[in-house]
Structure 1
Amino acid sequence: MKRLRPLVAHAANWEPPVPRKHFYAILALTALTLSTVALLPAPGDILEQPIRLELPIAAHGTATNEDNTEFNSIPDHELVEPDAASDEGDDIPVAPEPQWMEYRIRNGENLTSIFNTLGLSTTTLYKVLDADNKRRLARLKPGQVLELKIDEDNLLQQMRLRLNIKETLVLERKDEQYLAELITEAVEWRRAPVEGTVRGSFYQSARNAGLSAAQIQKIANLFQWRMNLAKELKQGDTFRVLLQHEMVNDQRTGNSQLLGIEFKSGGKSVSAWLSDDGNYYDGQGMSLERGFRRYPTHSRYRISSNFNPARKHPITGMVRPHEGTDFAMPIGAPVLATGDGVVLKATSHPLAGTYVVIRHSRTVSTRYLHLSKLLVKPGQKVKMGDKIALSGNTGRSTGAHLHYEVRINNRPVDAMRVKLPMAEPLSGKAKRLFLAKVRDYRKELAAS
């Protein structure tokens, strides 16, 4: 008790270290803070509070966990939205699909310049050319359209080129290389009759009727041993032609075939019809083709010197027989065998130059002189129309030409006038089938 008195006395005389009004303000603030903390729940109480989940608004209204017992029955580990995994990549851009583009080829362009224009690499160009082993891309024409599929890395994935109405070349990238494929459209053949009357020349009359120059030339060749169409056809004579055309999607490809033709001239009929063996015969099955062709060339070149037993030689000036027919031909033009046979000689001589001799039978042979290049060898079998050499100006010659001879029993004859043997006619079953086909062809022409 005695000890407390000094302390009480000391307290009574104690002064706060701050002014009294500030001291009481601090005291009041402390008391207010303690009372607020006392009213807060303990941390354990906070964790035990129920969690309220706000659900999306459904079609029937707002749903919460208090009034949706079906939702409350789902375990917590299954409360994951189905699209949650896919949402993670929504901000990743999707690579665009390669797009097709068209490039119309202009005059003077080739595949190299086109690839440079499009920014395609030289490596790609070489790979594409390697795949095109038929070198179709080396023959691009102005107006053709290239279809190209190029991806976002500027790599050529696919390329298409329409070669013609029925063929399309496709190149596709596979394992760093390109594979080429030729796609062919389905074709059909349709027959088309043509009729005409000779007014003026046969050529112009046939053109007016709708025949092409190539078709007219073929007709003229068929009848070269029977009649001269330019001279023997008269005004008012008629002709009927049966053609068949190759079609793709109702369009003509340009390919056609002559099935038959018949002339009515001066009260008589002259005709030619295609047989199953690929040759043409008249209405009785007789061949229109001789065993020989008259000319050793595709084209009708000018005759610079005829067969002449008493001709004066242009170089020596001496009278020496000209035993053949000279055709004024440029160097390098094709020379054709005029009949089936075996090559007897294919060599050179100081006077004849490079030359070929063909034996056709025991009695008939032909000679071809002053050639520039041989395309056959001795002992080789040839067919009528085969290319045997190229024309030239070798040996004793005053200019580029072909000297052509026909010899019978080793005696020279005029190749432009000699009567040559006919090819074999049809017989037996082949003839019966042919005559039945001719009847059908004539019915089609009569019904047109």
Structure 2
Amino acid sequence: MKLLTNWLAATARLPRQHKLALASLSLLVGAALMWQPHPFSSSRDRQPIPIPNDTQNITSVEHSEPIEQGLDADDPALRVPEDALEKDITSEAPRTHQHTVAAGDTLGGIFSQYGLPISQLYQMLDENDRVGDIRRGQNMEWQVDEQGRLLTFTLYQSLKYRDQYRFEQGKVAYARLETKGDREKVTVIGRVNSSFYQQARQAGLTPNQIQNLVSALQWRFDFGRQSRRGDQFAIQVDKEFIDNKPVSSGNIFAMLYRAGDRDIFIYRHTDGRFYDEQGQSLDRALRRIPTAKRYRISSSFDPHRKHPITGRISPHNGTDFATPVGTSVLAAGDGVVVKARKHPLAGNYVVIKHGREYSTRYLHLHRILVKPGDHVSMGQRIALSGNTGRSTGPHLHFELLKYGHPVNAMKVPLPEAHPVPSQERGEFQRQAKHAQQALEQRLNG
């Protein structure tokens, strides 16, 4: 009691403004002590799919993007322009995206890596509560609309069975599909008259099959720019037949493309990837970090990030590195610069196209060192990081896009230029040579 009396007496001698400040602080402390969140939250019968912690970040003033207005992933100024072949491929069917489950993967984590809507994952869970039971090495594929929402999602349980989810008008339909019938390899041939895409469609290939071929050869041959009238092709396809009638488009196993006096051959290995006749990779690698050394990540990729005040979803479609102004920015891979300019929100920025599947964006730059049309190599210096545009501090905002959709550059599987394993290469080369000779006979006959 004596301590309280002495404290009150000391307080009475304080200036008026100090008394007001002390009273306000006391009220705030009292209110904080009286308010406690309820220890329990309402539960539902549905169990949530685990989602990595880095996809649940809340926007704060420390994050580089302004909380009032984020960058639009579909802003025309930032988009990679499509050429005629890409428009042909997407005109008849949406692109198919693929993923092979790695150790430690969860379905929720995969959805977050590729920026797929978690709400649609819960719809799938309502239809089949075992959808999250995935295993290492399992294959899955999906198609999305222009807004990035799922149209179909397929999980391959075995060679015989696959689970397919189809989304339409806000609802999902689930079906367990079975592969039936006999499978045999057939060869389709064609000659380019107008475009490779049109002649491949006339030969019986689907848009997805053509997309797979174009992606496989994107670093060896550009069908959009290099194919010419008179070019020939022969393609070996594994088709399924019931009562001698084809019931599926099948998988492509080999292709021989004759462009003038140049022959281009690819063969699919047992890992599902295409290689040349020697077993060498057709891919070129990409790097996850576009700087010479690692810098702190100030804001992670998060398509589900929430605004701290409004509670609305404010996606962060890239990874922010806390780089000092003037840090060298390096190209994530070989490619062509398609944009290098200024944007009111992104500041100075660069967009690079890597083949036909991937592209990268580098935002808020201090200085741009390349121009549109430049061919760059992986690790080449393309800019200096900065603090331009709508930015709350010096940093590099880096985005990786797969077929135009933002994905998590720090986690998604990236192309690697590895050859067929040495212990498997001899058998691969034997089978590839046999297939190449068979396709040559078809073109020469």
**Do both proteins adopt the same fold according to a TM-score greater than 0.5, normalized to the shorter chain?**
no
Q: Which has the higher contact order (CA 8 A, sep 6+)?
A: 2
| TM-score bin (small chain) | 0.3 to 0.5
Please identify the structure whose Cα radius of gyration is greater. Answer: 1
